[in-house]
Structure 1
Amino acid sequence: MSFSFFTADSSTGSEVLTPTDAARSLWSSNQMHGVALSGAMSRAIELSVTRTDLRPARYTLDMFRPATMDPFTIETTLVREGKRLCLVDARLIQGGEAKARASTILLAPSEDPDGDVWRPVDDPTPPESVPELTEPTVPWFASDAPWSQDFADHQNAGRKQTWQYAVPIVADEVASPFQAVASIADATTMACNWGTKGVQYINTDITLTLARLPRTGEVGLRGERWTSSDGIAVGVATVFDRDGVIGQTMITSLSNARRTVDFHEHDFNDDGSRTSRA
């Protein structure tokens, strides 16, 4: 796999990221999708932290203006640093305007206490029918239909799961475990907002909480809760890898039915390109 979401240029001093076609949204031809945007923001935050004794535990992304397919920069700010905690904020700047913001809390690992705490007994597991992934492919999904890479199979009202390998954020780089899970976290909309007529809600944010990072670039999401009222929806998903559950995601979304993403019309290739089913 040679494709990525962005190319990087630091010749002017500040790094400028330029979206590739793999970052293009299905909502609009001149809009970046959230997987790419979240990957870029998590990468900038991760690169701004020099300490190796901390790891990301909570990541929140607000996408309050459409980010277009134009070059942009990301500014990061160290808000608070202590012995066991670090808080970093970031802003994506495009055309002199802020398009998104993110915040990450990094915590120092220690030891779990010895008390017993309730936990679910029906945790999701990796799909046995999918071989171990070592590079990006078309995402796998399960719903009322079994695991497959055919999106049309899963345009139903069933509970959704996805299993995928992270696309590199920037060309000639390998996505770190944090970049992998933060980018794939945007696929919570596919686990929660996808129904019989396609994806009819567009998510405005992502909150990802992590007890640990994924072991590799393979990450799964399983929809757990979804509710909507008056065109506002909330979805929650479990995040897992081949060794078990690692955290959860939550998104809030707005009705976008006039621009529904209908997967009876779209298909995807392993090289990141898209084709029409029409």
Structure 2
Amino acid sequence: MAETNGAAAFFTASDGQLVPSADASSPWAPDMMHGRLFGGLLARALECEQAGPEFHFTRLTVDLFRNTKLEPVRVETQRVRDGRRIRVADATVFAGDTPVARASAVLLRRGEQPTGTVPATKGWDAPTPAELGPARVDFTGWSPPFDVWLLNAEGEMTDDWRANGTRRSWVRDHHELVTGESMSPFVRVALAGDFASPLANYGDKGLEFINADYTLTLSRLPLSDAIGMQSSGHINEDGIAVAECTVHDTSGPIGFCTVTAVCNPITH
């Protein structure tokens, strides 16, 4: 797994709450919690309280409907449906008594693989992080507390978010989410899912859309610490955008991530 390099965790568990560190801040404001961390906390709670060895987290939708300051939060989960082949569960992040984000997860029971062939998404030819070398540290005026490799259509590292054509990236967390806990593959990909929005929504005047949610659909969990994304679509009208990315690990494609976003201009 990825080295933490002595970096502080994003949260510390204390008296039933999760206390954020300074690294949990958002690029939108230094005293605002980063929305991607809600996805990680929701996935962590769902995995801890609602998972089963025979079930796979096939879909995770994270709704980011309210900002919160860097203050303690807690997560509650609820099982909505428990059938023979499908399990549905919800989770909510609270800041005090106020809900600030929620998730819905669908878990499907693993079974025998069909023998027929269906046209499938092909793997990409992007170089791996090991082949690319050190990640970029600062690429938009904000130094992310995770590793990012931004690639152009030719698979070369770049700082140009405004480039046309296929956009690709690798993202790798090197902080623990919660002090003393190893980050699971499900939590890792849930954290990375939020990155689909800037990758697909960045325009020639900067990031003018901020995502309201993201949905991961996963055929399997990642086998590598680095999560790859390739932007595969963006449409916008009347200040509202929808976008999608294909999600990879270093072994190949594992699923998709779709986002909805609303106009909120910010330039770099």
Q: How does 1:215-226 map to 2 (within 5 A)?
A: 215-226=223-234
Residue 70 of structure 2 aligns to a residue in which SS?
coil
Distance in 2, Cα, partners of 1:218 & 1:173: 18
Q: How does 1:205-224 map to 2 (within 5 A)?
A: 205-224=213-232
| Consecutive aligned runs of 4 or more in structure 1 exceeding 6 Å deviation | none
Residue 139 (structure 1) aligns with: 148
| Contact preservation (8 Å) 2:153, 2:168 | no
1:144-165 C-alpha deviation (Å, 9 max, x unpaired): 68543x6x43343343211122
Residue 160 of structure 2 aligns to a residue in which SS?
helix
Residue 127 (structure 2) aligns with: 127
Residue 163 (structure 1) aligns with: 170
| Unaligned runs of at least 5 residues, structure 2 | 136-144
Distance in 2, Cα, partners of 1:211 & 1:117: 14
Q: What is the TM-score normalised by the length of structure 1?
A: 0.83
Alignment coverage as a number of residue pairs? 252
| Unaligned runs of at least 5 residues, structure 1 | 263-278
Following TM superposition, by how much is the alpha carbon of 1:125 offset from its aligned partner in structure 2, in angstroms?
A: 3.7
| Contact preservation (8 Å) 2:213, 2:261 | yes
- Are residues 51 and 138 of structure 1, via their aligned partners in 2, closer, same or farther at CA, if it must alter by over 3 Å? closer
Read off the aligned partner of 1:8 and give its amino acid letter.
Answer: A
| Contact preservation (8 Å) 1:162, 1:220 | yes
Q: What is the TM-score normalised by the length of structure 2?
A: 0.86
- Are residues 108 and 256 of structure 1, via their aligned partners in 2, closer, same or farther at CA, if it must alter by over 3 Å? same
Residue 195 of structure 2 aligns to a residue in which SS?
helix
| Contact preservation (8 Å) 1:126, 1:241 | no
Distance in 2, Cα, partners of 1:233 & 1:243: 30
Distance in 2, Cα, partners of 1:178 & 1:163: 16
Residue 245 (structure 1) aligns with: 253
Distance in 1, Cα, partners of 2:109 & 2:117: 22
Residue 10 (structure 2) aligns with: 5
| Contact preservation (8 Å) 1:126, 1:163 | no
Q: How does 1:2-151 map to 2 (within 5 A)?
A: 2-9=7-14, 11=15, 15-49=16-50, 51-121=52-122, 123-128=123-128, 130-131=130-131, 138-143=147-152, 147-148=156-157
Residue 38 of structure 1 aligns to a residue in which SS?
helix
1:236 equivalent in alignment to 2:250: no
Residue 249 of structure 1 aligns to a residue in which SS?
strand
Following TM superposition, by how much is the alpha carbon of 1:119 offset from its aligned partner in structure 2, in angstroms?
A: 2.4
Q: How does 1:262-277 map to 2 (within 5 A)?
A: 262=268
Read off the aligned partner of 2:46 and give its amino acid letter.
Answer: I
Following TM superposition, by how much is the alpha carbon of 1:196 offset from its aligned partner in structure 2, in angstroms?
A: 2.4
1:106-148 C-alpha deviation (Å, 9 max, x unpaired): 1111122112212244x32442464499x98521111268543
- Are residues 22 and 145 of structure 1, via their aligned partners in 2, closer, same or farther at CA, if it must alter by over 3 Å? farther
| Contact preservation (8 Å) 1:145, 1:153 | no
- Percent identical across equivalent pairs? 33
